[in-house]
Chain A
Amino acid sequence: MNYPVWDLAFGAGLLMALVAGLHVFVSHFAVGGGLFLVLTEMKARRNRDAELLGWLKSHTRFFVLLTVVFGAISGVGIWFTIGLISPTATSNLIHIFVWGWAIEWVFFFLEITAALLYLYGWDKLEAKLHEWYGWVYFIAAFASLVVINGIITFMLTPGHWIENHEFWTGFFNPTYLPSLLFRFCISLALAGIYALITASVQKDAALKARIVRWGALWTVPSLLLLPVFARWYIRKIPADLWASARGAMPTGTHFALLACILLGVTLLLTLLALIKPGRLHLAFSLLVAVVAFGALDSFEFVRESVRKPYVIVNYLYANSLYSASIPGDGGYTVDKIGDAGVLKSAKWVGNRELTSGNQVAAGREIFRVECESCHTENGYRGLRHYIVLRQWDLDKIRAMLGSLYLMHNGAMPPFAGADAERDALAAYLATLQSGIAAAPGPADGRTVFEHDCVMCHQVRPDDHLFTNLPRDQQTAIDALKDLPGMFPVMPDLKLSEGERRALVQWINTQRPAQEAGAPAKGGN
C-alpha cells in the first residue's frame, strides 16, 4: 500500500512462479554445467577422444545459448518481476545487500565474458588456455551462486539479522550452507541431465553411450546426495515455520512429497537410460529434463510456502506490511494500520473515507492493497472460488476476516485496518459469491465442518476442536452458539441450531472413545 499494486487478473504469484521456475532450471545448469564442460574437455583430451570433444563443442554452444541468453535475462526478469509485485521487499533486499548484489554483478560479468570466450575459443585457442577459460567460467558461476544463495536464504531464515541488522549475519544465515550444498548438488545433477539432451541427437551410438554413462555419473550420485542436504536444510528451518507448511495448509507438504517423488523418478529414468545408452531417444532425454524441472520447481514451491505469511520471515509480510514496528516503517505495520485505518494509511487508494455509498468500492481497494499480492478474484488463489465453495455469506466472511492469521496454520498475515474497513472488505468479498443461492438448511456435519471449520481445524484427535468440545451433545451444541466465548480468537460464526447439531453429531463420530476427557494439547 506504500507502493501501487499491479492489478494482475490471473495472479501475481503465478507470474512470479513462471519466471522464477524457468530461471532456476537454467541458472543451476549454468553452474554445474560449467564444471561439466571443463572436466569433460579434460577427460576427452586425456583419452584422445575426438568424437567426445566434437560433441562437447556443440554442447558448449547449446550451453552458452541457453545460459547466457535465457539464463541471464530471465535472472534479470526475476528482478523486474519482484520489483513489480513486491516492491517493498525488493527495496529492502536491495538496501540490505547492496554490496552483495554488486559483488554478484562482478562475478556475473566475468561469467558471461568467460562463457563467450570459451565458446568462441574452441577453434582458436590451444587446449590448456581453452580449459583455463572453462575454469574461470565455472569459478565465477559458482561464486555467483555463493552470493545469491545468501540473499535467497536470508528471506527464509534471517536469523539474528532481525536483531542486529548486520550484513554478514543476514548473509551467512542458518540455512546458508545447507542451501548452498543442496543447490550445488542440483546443479551437478542438471549438468548430467542436460548432457543427455544433446547426446540423444548424436548419430554415433558408441559416442552417445559414452556421453550417457558420463552424464549419469554426474546425475546419479548428486541425486543420491540431495536428500542428505535437504534434511540438513529442513533442520535449520525454525520448527514452527516448517510445521506451518503441514496439516491444514499442506501446500508445503504436498510439494515436498511431489519433489521427492519426481526426484525419485528422475533417478529412475537416468538409470533406465543406462540400460541401452547408445539408443537414447531425444524424447526420453526431454522427459528426464521435464521431470527434473518438476522436482526443482516443487522444491522452490516448498521454500516459498514454508515462508508464508512472510516474504522476509519475522520482518515483512507477503502483502508488504512489516510484522513489527521498527524505526522507519512508515506506519506500515499491522498495529499502526489498525489504529490509523488502511484507507488513511495506504497511499494508493482513491476512497479515503468510508461512506454509506462506497463500502464495496472501498472494500475492493482494501482487497487490492492487502490481499492482491497473493490472491485474485477469479484467477490464481481466487477468492471467489473459496467463498463459493464454502458458501460463506457476508456475516461469515466478516467473522472469518477477524481470524485470518489463524487460518491454515498461520499462512496469512492478520487483517490490518479498522473494524469498519474489515466490514467494507467483507462487503466487497460478499459480492463475489452473489451468484450462489442462500445456504441450504441443516446440512450434514461434515459439510458444516468443511465450510466453516477446516481453515483452522483438522480432523485429528489432538486438534482443539476434538479435545475441547464438550462430550455431552447438548452442552456442545450450546457451546458452539458463542464461539468467541469458547475461545476468544474464534470467529463469531453464528451457526444455526441445525448446523450446530449436525456438526456436533459428526464430530462425535470422528473422535475415538479413549480420547474423551483428554487434556487439550497440540493442534491449533
Chain B
Amino acid sequence: MIDPGMVPTIDPNPLPAPYWVLKTLLVATFFLHILAMNFMLGGAVLALLARWRKGNLFGNRIFFDVARKVPSLLAATITLGIAPLLFVQVLYGQYFYTSSILIAWPWFLVIVFLIAAYYGFYYVAYRGERRPRAAGRVMLFSTALVLIIGFIYTNNITLSHVPSRWAQKYFSSAAGWNLNLSEPTLFPRYLHFMTAAVAVGGLLLVLIAWTKWKEDSEYARSIFQFGGKAFLYSTMAQFVVGMWFLVSLPRDLRMLFMGDNTLATALLGFGMAGALISIFLMSEALKKDNIRLAAFAVSGITGLVILSMSVMRDILRDAYLQPYFHPQEFAVKTQWSPFLLFLGLFIAGVVLWIVMLKRYGFFNRTKAADR
C-alpha cells in the first residue's frame, strides 16, 4: 500500500538556487565520487588478488604499489563524497533521512568502519613492507569493511526509493536495524557497483603501468597484463550482473531503459556499446602490448560510460519516487551572493588544487611514478 502520508514534509526554507543547478551539482559530484570510489575499492581488491595469485613474479610488488595509493584514493572518495551527500540532502532529504533512520545502526557504523578501514590502509601503506604477512591480513580486513560500507549504502539508497515499505519496517522495529534485504534489486545493484569498481581498479593498474612503462618495462608489462585482464573479465561479467539488475527492476521502471524513456534508453545503449568497445580495445591493447590505447582510449570511454550510468542512476531514482517527488513544487529563492561566492571559490579552489598538484610534480611522468 502506498501511503504518501508517510513521506515527511519538507522544511519551510526554499531552495537557494534553481532545481536544475542543484541537480547538476548532485549528479556531477556523485560521478566524481563514484569514480574515486571505484579506483580505491577496485585497487584494493586487485592488490589482494595480485598477492594471492599463484605463480606471479611481481604479485607482492603490485600489492604494495597499489596499496600505497589506496589511502589517498580513499581520501579522495570521502572528500568527493561530501558534495553529493550535501546535494542529496538538499533535494531528497525527506527520503534520505527517513531511510537512514530506518537503518540507523548500520548507517552510523559506516563511520566506525570507515575509520577502521582507513587506518588499516594507512598501516599497509606505511608499515606493510616491514611486516608483509600482517599487511595482507590488514588489507583484507580494510577492504572487507569498505565492501560492507558499500552494501550499507546500497541498502540505504534502495530503501530511500520505496516509501511504501517504510511504515511496515518502522512499526516492526524502530531500533534502526531495518536493512532492505527483501529488496529484489539489492544484490544485483550492489554487485553492479562492485563489479564496476573492479573494472576501474584494473584501469588504475593500467595507469600505474603507463607511468612505469619506460623505466621498468618488465614490471610495467606484468601489471598492465594483470590490470587489463581484470578490466576485461569484470566488464564481461558486468553484462551478466547488469542484466540481472535490469530484470530485477519493477517492470515499468525497467521499460524506461527499454524504450519508454528516450534519454534513459539512449544512455543504456551508449553504456553497453561503450563497454563492448572498451572490451574490444582492451583485448587489442593487451595483445599488441599497446599501453597508450588502454591508458587513454579505454579509460576515456569508461569515464564516459560511468558518467552515463550516473545520469541513469538519477533517472531511476526519480522514476522510483515519481509518485511523491515533484520538483516543480519546490519553492526557490536564489541566494545570489553566497551562490556566486561559492562558484568563485570553487573555481579558485580547482585552480589552486591543480597548482598544488603541478608544483608537487604530479604532471611530470617520472615523479608521478614515485607517488
Residues on A facing B (Cβ under 8 Å): 2-9, 15, 19, 65, 68-70, 72-74, 76-77, 79-81, 83-84, 87-88, 90-92, 94-96, 98-103, 105-110, 112-114, 116-117, 120-121, 124-125, 129, 132-133, 136, 165, 167-168, 322, 326-332, 347-348, 350, 368
Asked if A99 contacts B339 (CB within 8 A), the reply is yes
CB distance from A391 to the nearest CB of B (A): 30
Residues of B with C-beta under 8 A to A165: 13
Q: B89 near A: Cβ within 8 Å?
A: yes
B111 near A7 (CB under 8 angstroms)? no
CA distance A95 to B332 in the complex (A): 11
The prevalent SS among residues of A at the interface is: helix
Once the chains bind, are A117 and B356 in contact (CB under 8 Å)? yes
Q: Which of A109, A112, A328, A332 has the most CB of B within 10 A?
A: A109
Residue pair B171, A350 in contact (C-beta under 8 Å): yes
Cβ B97 vs Cβ A91 within 8 A: yes
Task: List 6 tightest A-B contacts by C-beta distance, closest first.
Answer: A328-B12, A330-B9, A99-B338, A87-B97, A95-B13, A7-B174
Complex-state Cα separation, A19 to B371, whole angstroms: 33
One digit per residue, 1 when the CB lies within 8 angstroms of any chain A CB and 0 when it does not, for chain B 61-97 equals 0000000000010010011101101100110011011
Q: Give A101's nearest chain B residue, CB to CB.
A: B86
Please give the distance in Å from A139's CB to the nearest CB on chain B: 10
- Is the beta-carbon distance between B122 and A65 smaller than 8 angstroms? yes
User: In the complex, how many angstroms separate the beta carbon of A346 from the nearest chain B beta carbon?
Assistant: 11
**Choice from A70, A73, A80, A105 contacting B108 with Cβ under 8 Å:** A80
B348-371 vs A, CB cutoff 8 Å, 1 = contact: the mask equals 010011001101110000000011
Q: Collect the chain B residues with CB atoms within 8 Å of residue A69's CB.
A: 115, 118-119, 122
- Give the docked Cα–Cα distance between A110 and B82 (Å): 13
A498 vs chain B, min Cβ distance (A): 43
- Residue numbers in B under 8 Å from A109 (CB-CB): 79-80, 349, 353
CB-CB under 8 A from B25, the residues of chain A are 102
Q: Can you name 11 extra interface pairs (CB under 8 A) apart from A3-B101, A105-B83, A113-B356?
A: A72-B79, A77-B108, A79-B85, A80-B108, A91-B11, A91-B93, A98-B86, A109-B80, A110-B349, A168-B338, A330-B12
* Bound-complex Cα distance A129 to B361 (A): 12
| A68 pairs with B75, CB closer than 8 A | yes
Choose one: A2, A95, A120, A322; the contact of B14 (CB below 8 Å): A95
Residues of B within 8 A of A116 (CB): 72, 75
The reply to whether B17 and A98 contact each other, CB–CB distance below 8 Å, is yes
Q: Are B359 and A129 in contact (CB under 8 A)?
A: yes
Minimum C-beta distance from A175 to chain B (A): 20
Q: Which residues of B contact A (CB under 8 A)?
A: 5-6, 8-17, 22, 25, 72, 75, 78-80, 82-83, 85-86, 89-90, 93-94, 96-98, 100-102, 104, 107-108, 110-111, 114-115, 118-119, 122, 166, 170-171, 174-176, 331, 335, 337-339, 341-342, 345-346, 349, 352-353, 356-357, 359-361, 370-371
Residues of A within 8 A of B337 (CB): 167-168
Residue of B nearest to A329 (CB): B12
Known contacts A108-B82, A114-B356, A6 near B174 by CB under 8 Å: yes
Contact B5 A76 (CB under 8 A): no
A452 vs B178: C-alpha distance in the bound complex, in angstroms?
Answer: 41
Are A88 and B11 interface neighbours, CB within 8 A? yes
CB < 8 Å A-B pair total: 196
Known: A80-B107, A90-B89, A165-B13. A347 touches B345 (CB 8 A): no
Are A108 and B79 neighbours in the complex by a CB distance under 8 Å? yes
In the assembled complex, the Cα of A79 lies from the Cα of B118 at a distance in Å of: 19
Q: What is the CA–CA distance of A73 and B71 in the complex, to the nearest angstrom?
A: 13
Q: Which of B119, B346, B371 contacts A106, CB < 8 Å?
A: B346
Return chain B residues, CB-CB under 8 Å to A326: 12
Q: In the bound complex, how far is the Cα of B109 from the Cα of A73, in angstroms?
A: 12
Tell me whether A83 and B122 are in contact (CB under 8 A).
no
Q: Are A73 and B174 in contact (CB under 8 A)?
A: no
Taking the closest CB of chain A, its distance from the CB of B162, in whole angstroms, is 15
Task: Compute how far the CA of A136 lies from the CA of B175 in the bound complex, rounded to whole angstroms.
Answer: 44
A102–B17 CA distance with the chains assembled, in angstroms: 12
- Determine the chain B residues whose CB is within 8 A of the CB of A105 once the complex forms: 79, 82-83, 86
The CA-CA distance from A231 to B75 in the complex, in Å, is 39
Would you call A167 and B78 a contact (CB within 8 A)? no
Complex A-B: 15 CB contacts under 8 Å = A3-B101, A65-B119, A84-B97, A84-B108, A88-B11, A92-B12, A98-B22, A109-B79, A109-B349, A110-B352, A120-B371, A124-B370, A136-B356, A165-B13, A322-B12
Question: What residues of B have a CB within 8 angstroms of the CB of A100 in the complex?
Answer: 338
Cβ–Cβ < 8 Å partners of A121 in chain B: 360
Query: What is the CA–CA distance of A107 and B353 in the complex, to the nearest angstrom?
Result: 10
Majority-rule SS of B interface residues: helix
Contact flag A99-B342 (CB < 8 Å), given A73-B115, A113-B353, A347-B6: yes
Q: Are A70 and B115 in contact (CB under 8 A)?
A: yes
Query: B90 to A99, Cβ gap below 8 A?
Result: no
Q: Are A95 and B349 in contact (CB under 8 A)?
A: no
Which one of A19, A106, A350 contacts B345 once the chains associate, using CB atoms below 8 Å?
A106
The answer for the CA separation of A494 and B7 in the assembled complex, in Å, is 43
Q: Cβ of A112: which chain B residues have Cβ within 8 Å of it?
A: 75, 79
What separation, in Å, do the CA atoms of A125 and B364 have in the docked complex? 14
For residue B331, give the distance in angstroms from its CB to the closest CB of chain A: 7
Please name all residues of chain A whose beta carbon is closer than 8 Å to the beta carbon of B94 when the two chains form the complex. 91
With contacts A2-B9, A84-B101, A113-B353 taken as known, whether A103 is within 8 angstroms of B122 at the C-beta atoms is no
Q: Which of A91, A98, A328, A368 makes the CB contact (< 8 A) with B16?
A: A98
Q: A94-B86, A368-B174 are in contact. Are A81 and B14 (CB under 8 A)?
A: no
Complex contacts, A330 vs chain B, CB 8 Å = 9, 12
Say whether B353 contacts A83, CB under 8 Å: no
| Complex interface: chain B residues within 8 A of A84 (CB) | 97, 100-101, 104, 107-108, 176
Contact partners of A347 in chain B: CB under 8 A: 5-6, 8
A-side contacts of B176, CB under 8 Å: 6-8, 84
Let me know if B175 and A132 touch, CB within 8 A.
no
Please determine whether B83 and A132 come into contact, CB atoms closer than 8 angstroms: no
Are B79 and A98 neighbours in the complex by a CB distance under 8 Å?
A: no
Cα–Cα distance between A101 and B100 once the two chains are bound (Å): 20
A98 adjacent to B90 (CB under 8 Å): yes
**B353 in complex: contacting residue of A76, A77, A81, A110, CB < 8 Å:** A110
Chain B residues lying within 8 Å of A113, measured Cβ to Cβ, are: 353, 356-357
A95 touches B111 (CB 8 A): no
**B352 — which chain A residues lie within 8 A by C-beta?**
110, 136
A102 and B101 contacting across the interface, CB-CB below 8 Å:
no
Chain A residues, Cβ within 8 Å of B15:
95, 98
Question: Are A348 and B170 neighbours in the complex by a CB distance under 8 Å?
Answer: yes
- CB-CB under 8 A from A136, the residues of chain B are 352, 356
Q: Which residues of A contact B17 (CB under 8 A)?
A: 98-99
Q: Is the CB of B371 within 8 A of A91?
A: no
**Is A5 a contact partner of B174 (Cβ separation < 8 A)?**
yes
Given contacts A6-B104, A87-B101, contact A328 B11 (CB under 8 A): yes
